[in-house]
Chain A
Amino acid sequence: MVEHASQVAHQFEDATQQYEASTLGMWAFLLTEIMFFGGLFAGFFVYILGHAQAFAEGSRHLDLTLGTVNTVVLLGSSLTMALAVRSAQQGNRNGQLLFLGLTVILGSLFLGIKGLEYVHKFEQHLVPGPSFGLAGPHAQSAQLFFSFYFAMTGVHALHMIVGIGLLAWLFVNAWRGKYTEAYFTPVEVSGLYWHFVDVVWIFLFPTLYLVARHG
């Protein structure tokens, strides 16, 4: 790897050491994120054991079509993010701009569809609280399901918004031609974050949407 003095911070020997330290640092952060989302998943698993029928009923009120489309959209954004890193690694500025732009568009599309689902939930009175409209023997416990639904997808969406902010910053720097074969660490590290958010959704989707879909 060619040394690029201007982009290596003074505490590092060379660009490779800086790259390895940055990557490891991002993984250390992602481990705390795993435990953060892990707590929500553990809570969900405990409650579904106690309220299996109510959670199944709640799950059937989610829009499977929109959920599946959103899964495909987010997986697509992970592909374009990986290709953006690849372009940066090859010093291909146009490729970086194209794929970073596509990733922003797909990420925003995901948030738009998620927002649409939220609007439907409000219209159908499926938001926990005084106006919760689901009747029947499981009405109380079903509110628990929707509390988990909004908390988990909401926190996930917040991570997406942060990710889109990172992508916008990368896009500006890529426009200025900052990322080359010798220095693409920020693109790589932001990519790790973006893929992590994708992995969280890979588990959220079956957990929330596919629980007892057939029943």
Chain B
Amino acid sequence: MTHPTVSLRLYLGIFAALILLTGLTVGVAFFDLGGGRLHAVNAAAAITIALVKALLVILYFMHVRYSSRLIWIFVGAGGFWLLILFVLTLADYLGRGLFPLPLPWNP
């Protein structure tokens, strides 16, 4: 089945949330939340907010919430493969100690 018609109210609500989150991520960027040379806490905050925004767009604007299980599996596979790309790549670079991270055991 095709998805049901989403109400105008819900679309506007999602848009308002996206704009608020954009303001939040820009505002947060001006404060040093810590995390050393790589600004890890700031980066984590920015990525978390981006993930929430992306989920709102994917679930509501792209109608995944109202789609079949098959679409859910496809979207999930996309996220999973992306995770493989990031985790294995970074595990390799970090595991070789090419970039000394500001960790307690690194001088």
Interface residue ranges, A against B (CB under 8 Å): 1, 16, 19-20, 23-24, 27-28, 30-31, 34-35, 38-39, 41-42, 45-46, 48-50, 52-53, 56, 64, 68, 71-72, 75-76, 78-79, 81-83, 86, 89-90, 188, 191-192, 195-196, 198-199, 202-203, 205-207, 210-215
Nearest CB in chain B to that of A32: its residue:
B78
**Chain B interface size range:** 35 or more
Complex Cα spacing A199 to B79, Å: 13
A211 touches B39 (CB 8 A): yes
B86 touches A38 (CB 8 A): yes
Interface residue ranges, B against A (CB under 8 Å): 1-2, 5-6, 8, 11-12, 14-15, 18-19, 22, 25-26, 29-32, 37-39, 42-43, 46-47, 49-50, 53-54, 57-58, 60-63, 67-68, 70-71, 74-75, 77-79, 81-82, 85-86, 89-90, 93-94, 98-99, 101
Instruction: Kindly list the 7 A-B residue pairs having the minimum CB-CB distance in the complex, ordered from nearest.
Output: A206-B46, A210-B29, A213-B29, A49-B99, A79-B15, A31-B78, A27-B74
A206 touches B86 (CB 8 A): no
CB proximity of B66 to chain A, nearest CB, Å: 11
A79 touches B11 (CB 8 A): yes
